Structure 1
Amino acid sequence: MAYGIDNFSDGDTTVVRWERKKKDLPLILISCCMPYDSEAEPPPEKFRQAIRMWRHDVLIGCDAHAHHTLWGSSNVNQRGESLVNFLSSTNLCVCNRSCDSPFVVRNRSEVLDLTLATNLGTLMASNWMVSEKSSPLDHCWIRSRITLQLEMRAPFKNSQRANWDGYSAALESEMARRVQELIRRGKSIDSAVECLSAVMREAFEANCPISHPAKCGRPP
């Protein structure tokens, strides 16, 4: 379920909270246009407030109107330096992976559109590219594959699912046979203890199925 967050949204910035499974942190989606004629240095205040509020699983698409070689611009301007200074104080990383120019007009092309995401190991942006598909605007389509890393949990034995009748029968059968063999060979008490432990472990393994944990953090 997704819903907008009005407190952090205005005419230039839209923030959406995507609720996932109960145990997962929400995914925060931000779309932002940073006006080139704004007197304030980028990013805008609503954008800054949203990043201060959420530091996990944030994905941002923005028209930065800022130049910096960090994301492939042909030069660096004051707006670009301001944005880079802000990014360096956060855990956001630039996902742009090529120098293809999303902004194209008749006599000029430039990298102005950025994809940003938190770099905490849970949110991964890959296959970033400027699409060759035509756009009605002077900004090209940007495509990227967004996935959330899954928490890999190992299969386990759940004793509540064990067949305890089968366990008892296997234990009784193997115990009688192996203990008699130990007595016949005159083995020590330590050997008998090791044998008993092995018999109990094997009986449990044979009569308790493997349980697979429910998947958590499934990608949207």
Structure 2
Amino acid sequence: MIRRIVISSSYLLYDDPDPPPNKELEDLLLNRGSQPTFRNNVGEEVIGITLCTSNIVQKIKEWRVSEKTSLSDHCHILFTLSEETRQAITYRDPKAANWDLYRSELTRDIERISQHKFINQDEIEASVAFLHKSIISSYEKS
């Protein structure tokens, strides 16, 4: 069985009248400590929230905010995965991809939709979804 693991780091409004996180969101947080996740010349705030599915929360270790400059107001969030989880994840090196195959696969799909005259929003959205799937499929094939 193939399982997808999704880890998400989100930045939410810190000056909202009802500030996040709510109880449901709090139950999903991986954040540890109170080190600022947002820094600019005005100040620092802890506004970064990192979430993951419950089946992986015990496998994430050493969640931390990077001290290195990120070229953004938002700091990089770092963590390590258990050895078992690292071995289960397939890493795909983009440098090893067959980019000629990628281009030919994607070009074929783009040509299929480029001739279509869209008459409504549903057709446009369906074509966007098709293109999205084509990009992923072409990359996976390559």
* TM-score using structure 2 length: 0.50
Q: Does 1:62 align with 2:7?
A: no
1:123 Cα deviation (Å)? 5.6
Distance between the aligned counterparts of 2:84 and 2:12, measured in 1?
28
Which 5+ residue runs of structure 2 have no aligned equivalent?
Answer: 90-142
Q: Does 1:127 align with 2:62?
A: yes
Aligned identity (percent) is: 21
Q: Which has the higher strand share?
A: 1
- Matched pairs, number: 89
Q: What is the correspondence of 1:166-185 to structure 2 with a 5 Å cutoff?
A: none
**Deviation digits for residues 184-218 of structure 1 (CA, Å, limit 9, x no counterpart):** xxxxxxxxxxxxxxxxxxxxxxxxxxxxxxxxx94
Q: Does 1:106 align with 2:41?
A: yes
**Deviation digits for residues 118-174 of structure 1 (CA, Å, limit 9, x no counterpart):** 223676221111111112111111111134857xxxxxxxxxxxxxxxxxxxxxxxx
Distance between the aligned counterparts of 2:75 and 2:52, measured in 1?
20
Root mean square deviation of aligned Cα: 2.9
Q: Does the 8 Å CA contact 1:96/1:114 hold for their aligned counterparts?
A: yes
Q: Which residue of 2 aligns with 1:6?
A: none
Of residues 78, 88, 106 in structure 2, which corresponds to 1:219? 88
Of residues 13, 18, 23 in structure 2, which corresponds to 1:85? 23
Q: Which residue of 2 aligns with 1:5?
A: none
Q: Does 1:146 align with 2:81?
A: yes
Q: Does the 8 Å CA contact 2:30/2:57 hold for their aligned counterparts?
A: no
Q: Which has the higher helix share?
A: 2
Q: Which residue of 2 aligns with 1:26?
A: 4
For the residue of structure 2 that corresponds to 1:79, the secondary structure is: coil
Which 5+ residue runs of structure 1 have no aligned equivalent?
Answer: 1-22, 30-58, 68-75, 151-216
Task: Write the letter of the residue equivalent to 1:87.
Answer: L
Distance between the aligned counterparts of 1:129 and 1:149, measured in 2?
20
User: CA 1:121–1:137 in structure 2 vs 1: closer, same or farther (change >3 Å)?
Assistant: closer
User: CA 1:218–1:136 in structure 2 vs 1: closer, same or farther (change >3 Å)?
Assistant: closer
